[in-house]
Amino acid sequence: METSKVIHAIYTDDDVLMSAVKKVKAERHHIEEIYTPFPVHGLDKAMGLAPTRIAITSFLYGCVGLIVAIVMMNYIMIEDWPQNIGGKPSFSYMENMPAFVPIMFELTVFFAAHLMVITFYLRSRMWPFKEAENPDPRTTDDHFLMEIAVHGNETELESLLRETGAVEIKLIEKEAH
Amino acid sequence: MYTISNKLKTFSIALIILGLLGVGYGFMTSHKSFEEVETMLAEETAHHGGGHAVATEAHVVADDSDHSDNSHQANAHDATTDVEHHVDDHAKHVEHVQHQIANRPWSALYVAAFFFFMIALGVLAFYAIQYASQAGWSPVLFRVMEGITAYVLPGGLIVLAIAVASGTIGHYNIFIWMDPDVVAHDKLLQGKSGWLSLGWFAVRGLIFIAGWSLYRHFSRKFSIANDTATDNSNFKKAFRISAAFLVFFIYTESIMSWDWIMSVDPHWFSTLFAWYVFAGMAVSGITVIAFISLYLKSRGHLEIVNDSHIHDLAKFMFGFSIFWAYLWFSQFMLIWYANIPEEVTYFITRIEDYNGLFFGMLVLNFVFPFLVLMNSDYKRIPWFVVMAGIIILIGHYIDVYVMIMPATVGDRWSFGIPEISSVMLFAGLFLFIVFTALTKAPLVVKRNPFLKESEHFHY
């Protein structure tokens, strides 16, 4: 199997990490991944990650939920068996709509929330029994790890990372997927 | 220090003068004699052909059922007196329409007066919430809010004055329960007369206005004193009175909404009405804060306000619009669902006579802000916020209109000179008072404990 080389630089402070990211980006090195124990505010911007589109998916899922509710209630209550239940007008959907609004609202929220969460799981590849992709267990506690691809420029990279305040620098042979 | 531009001053004074002229015109043309109304109705019947005649007939019957005693008597009468009764009905119908026409300028004035007053009161409540919750983002907007709340005292007094005048100078043009003749024939109003009496109504109103103005006076005083103070004692005082005011406010706002709005339909009552009025108040108030901040910023007077502050205001506009819609629907749906005759008449008159406005405002106040202000990026674009805000303000004007008008002018409503000039009059007054108040103190507080945080606020 082919292998690629990466450098793991470990930091112990999120402010140091942020300035290191800016420096590494300024030197035009590609940052493969950063592992942190908690969300670091502004890290995505510093790394230049594209903004998430999950809110847009959620809006669309909400629209689907609304349509499902409308079609369902219209079919059941108006078209299939328009009974007179307590004098409520079941002649058309609009006439009886206020009674359906709670369902329409809840299904909109239900679809928007659940499908968005599932989208999140799929896009971030998370599921039960998933093998953790953690290069160093300390990054779940109090260390920050930056992974940079190496293309024959190890010494230069190493000295740059040393300068940025990395407490540990390791060269790793990584199995390519 | 901000100085009001001459253009704005002339503009507001022109609005006031034009508004006054229009309001005067409205009052002069609303006093129709019995014969005039009679011929007008006859012409209407002729115009619309037989269809309308049937409708008027139905109207008379509907009118009758209001005074249930009469209709019972009518049923008991034999055929000969029935003819006389018809003549009687006709006279009653003409008188009814005559009264509705006379009510129109009063109601138009009252709707506009209340609309601008409720903006100021909504801002006052929002301001108190900002103090009491020690919000870190809003101190740079405090002076704008204080400027808007300068309208609470004059605006409140004007609303109360119109309400009282409609019962003393006018011919009970807004509140039917002020008419002793009506109360004498109405068991329900007699039962409520312990609460709904003119003197007690005026005293209550004065107490509310006094309480709100006192809070406004002192919080403003502490806020200005804090600019030059050496410690935070003024801030602490403002914090304490804000917390106390919020308790006072939520009681008095409830009672105010029963008195000043709900009692135009004295046979009807709703428990969540006060919250509903409050939601409209809050969203219009926040919209106006955003408007005035954006105006001052565009003129270079409020550089410190950044687009994150506008974003926050727009989020509040969005949230409170949905909150308003939630309360509107909760009130409507509960009454529609149970369909109890004594409650549902309120909505029946609105749906039959005000259909477009009644449901149209739901689009303006809910659907439009919901879709427009959902995107996070759009909430930072000034012209986007202004467009959404204009829609929201129009929607909430219609909201107040649909709360008041059906009870006073019924199906004789329209948007004409009385309505438009009333809005102009109070818009001019509002702009004049608010922008004059803004010149009285620096546009940004100086040493509020949260000022630094607010200056650097970003989202």
pLDDT digits over A15-46, tens only?
999 999 999 999 888 899 999 999 999 999 99
- Greatest Cα pair distance, chain A, in angstroms, is 83
- Is the model's pLDDT at B112 over the cut of 50? yes
Sequence letter at residue B89: D
Within its chain, how far is the Cα of A89 from the centroid?
Answer: 46
pLDDT at A165: 87
Q: Does B355 touch chain A (CB under 8 A)?
A: no
Q: What is the mean pLDDT of residues B79-104?
A: 80
- Cβ contact B132:B247 at 8 Å: no
Length of chain B: 459
Q: What is the mean pLDDT of residues B113-125?
A: 97
Q: Give, as one character, the DSSP assignment of residue B327.
A: H
- Is the model's pLDDT at A1 over the cut of 60? no
ipTM: 0.90
Rg over CA atoms, chain B = 24
Distance CA B294, CA B305 (A): 9
Q: Which residue is closest to A98 within chain B, CA to CA?
A: B333
Set of chain A residues whose Cβ sits within 8 Å of the Cβ of B367: none
Of the pLDDT bands very low, low, confident and very high (cuts 50, 70, 90), residue B63 is very low
Average pLDDT along chain A: 92
Q: Do A101 and B376 touch (CB under 8 A)?
A: no
Tell me the nearest-neighbour CA distance from A99 into chain B, angstroms: 7
Torsion of Cα atoms, A133 then A135 then A141 then A143, to 10°: -140
Q: Which residue is closest to B374 within chain A, CA to CA?
A: A59
- Cβ contact B384:B369 at 8 Å: no
Distance CA B43, CA B50 (A): 12
Q: Do A87 and B339 touch (CB under 8 A)?
A: yes
Set of chain B residues whose Cβ sits within 8 Å of the Cβ of A95: none
Of the pLDDT bands very low, low, confident and very high (cuts 50, 70, 90), residue A66 is very high
Q: Which residue is closest to B335 within chain A, CA to CA?
A: A98
- Is the model's pLDDT at B51 over the cut of 60? no
**Residues on chain A bordering chain B, Cβ-to-Cβ distance under 8 angstroms:** 55, 59, 87, 98-99, 101
CA distances from B220 to B39, B144, B216 (A): 57, 11, 6
Of the pLDDT bands very low, low, confident and very high (cuts 50, 70, 90), residue B52 is very low
B272 CB-contact burial (10 Å; exposed 0-12 / middle 13-18 / buried 19+): middle
Distance CA B454, CA A32 (A): 36
Q: Do B333 and A101 touch (CB under 8 A)?
A: yes
Set of chain A residues whose Cβ sits within 8 Å of the Cβ of B336: 98
- Is the model's pLDDT at B330 over the cut of 50? yes
- Is the model's pLDDT at B62 over the cut of 50? no
Tell me the nearest-neighbour CA distance from A98 into chain B, angstroms: 6
Q: Does B458 touch chain A (CB under 8 A)?
A: no
Which range has the worst mean pLDDT, A55-64, A99-108, A160-169, B400-409? Answer: A160-169
Of the pLDDT bands very low, low, confident and very high (cuts 50, 70, 90), residue B201 is very high
Of the pLDDT bands very low, low, confident and very high (cuts 50, 70, 90), residue B80 is low
- Is the model's pLDDT at A108 over the cut of 60? yes
- The SS3 assignment for A9 reads strand
Q: What is the mean pLDDT of residues B264-290?
A: 96
Q: What is the mean pLDDT of residues A74-90?
A: 94
Of the pLDDT bands very low, low, confident and very high (cuts 50, 70, 90), residue B301 is very high
Q: Do B337 and A101 touch (CB under 8 A)?
A: no
Tell me the nearest-neighbour CA distance from B428 into chain A, angstroms: 40
* Interstrand relation of A168-175 and A3-11 (parallel, antiparallel or unpaired): antiparallel
According to the 3-state scheme, what is the secondary structure of A66-127? HHHHHHHHHHHHHHHCCCCCCCCCCCCCHHHHHHHHHHHHHHHHHHHHHHHHHHHHHHCCCC
Nearest Cα neighbor of B261 from B387, B143, B154, B408 is B408
Of the pLDDT bands very low, low, confident and very high (cuts 50, 70, 90), residue A2 is low
- Greatest Cα pair distance, chain B, in angstroms, is 89
**Lookup result for tokens 């919901």:** B370
pLDDT tens, residue by residue, B11-37: 999 999 999 999 999 999 988 888 888
- Is the model's pLDDT at B153 over the cut of 90? yes
**Could you tell me which residues are beta bridge partners of residue A175?**
A3
Distance CA B171, CA B245 (A): 36
pLDDT at B35: 86
Q: What is the mean pLDDT of residues B94-114?
A: 93
Residues 6+ apart with CB under 8 A from B333: A98, A99, A101
Q: Do B336 and A55 touch (CB under 8 A)?
A: no
pLDDT at B353: 95
Q: What's the whole-model pTM score?
A: 0.90
Set of chain B residues whose Cβ sits within 8 Å of the Cβ of A59: 374
Q: Do A55 and B329 touch (CB under 8 A)?
A: no
Q: Does B384 touch chain A (CB under 8 A)?
A: no
Q: Do A98 and B336 touch (CB under 8 A)?
A: yes
Distance CA B81, CA B60 (A): 17
Set of chain B residues whose Cβ sits within 8 Å of the Cβ of A87: 339
- Cβ contact A32:A168 at 8 Å: no
Distance CA B399, CA B380 (A): 27
pLDDT tens, residue by residue, B220-258: 999 999 999 999 999 999 999 999 999 999 999 999 999
Mutate to test the interface with A, among B333, B347, B358, B376 (most CBs of A within 10 A): B333
Distance CA A74, CA B224 (A): 60
Distance CA B435, CA A31 (A): 54
- Is the model's pLDDT at B121 over the cut of 50? yes
Facing B337 at nearest CB: one of A55, A59, A99: A99
Q: Do B333 and A98 touch (CB under 8 A)?
A: yes
pLDDT at B49: 56
Q: Does B336 touch chain A (CB under 8 A)?
A: yes
Average pLDDT along chain B: 90
Distance CA A97, CA B443 (A): 49
